[in-house]
Amino acid sequence: MDNLVLAGVELPSRLILGTGKYASGEQLKQAVAASGAAVVTMAIKRVDTEGHRDDIVGPLRELGVRLMPNTSGARDAREAVFAARLSREALGTDWIKVEVHPGQKYLLPDPIATYEASRELVRDGFKVFAYCGADPELCRALEEVGVAAVMPLGSPIGSARGLETRGMLSIIIEQSHVPVVVDAGIGAPSEAAAALEMGAAALMVNTAVAAAGDPVAMARAFCLAAEAGRTAYEAGLASRAATARATSPMERFLEEAMK
Among 9, 33, 48, 146, binds another protein (CB under 8 A): 48
Residue 92 binds to another protein (criterion: CB under 8 A): no
Of residues 10, 103, 137, 175, which one binds another protein by CB under 8 A?
Answer: 103
> Nearest Cα to 180, choosing from 172, 189, 191?
172
Pairing of strands 39-43, 4-6: unpaired
Q: Which of 8, 53, 177, 238 binds another protein (CB under 8 A)?
A: 53
**Using rule CB under 8 A, residue 257 touches another protein:** yes
Q: Check binding of 57 to another protein (CB under 8 A).
A: no
Of the candidate spans 58-66, 68-76, 167-175, 232-240, the one that interacts with another protein by CB under 8 A turns out to be: 68-76
Q: What is the DSSP letter of 45?
A: G
The answer to whether 214 contacts another protein (rule: CB under 8 A) is no
Q: Is the separation of the CB atoms in 36 and 13 below 8 Å?
A: yes
Return the ∠ at Cα 106 (arms to 100 and 107), rounded to 5°. 15
- Please name the residues in contact with 132: beta carbons below 8 A apart, sequence gap of 6 or more: 109, 111, 114, 138, 139, 142, 150, 151, 152, 153
What's the count of helices (H) and strands (E) in the chain, helices before strands? 10, 10
| Closest separation in Å from C-beta 48 to another protein | 5
Tell me how far apart the alpha carbons of residues 70 and 129 are, in angstroms, rounded to a whole number: 9
Task: List the one residue from 236, 239, 243, 248 that touches another protein (CB under 8 A).
Answer: 243
Instruction: Look up 97 and say whether it is catalytic.
Output: yes
**To the nearest whole angstrom, how small is the minimum distance from the Cβ of residue 31 to another protein?**
12
Please choose, from the candidates 129, 132, 137, the residue with its C-alpha nearest in 3D space to the C-alpha of residue 108. Answer: 132
- Applying CB under 8 A, does 83 fall inside the site for another protein? yes
Q: Which residues are near another protein by CB under 8 A?
A: 20-24, 44-46, 48, 52-54, 73-75, 78-79, 82-83, 86, 102-105, 158-160, 207, 210-211, 242-247, 249-251, 253-259
Which residues are catalytic, by number? Answer: 97
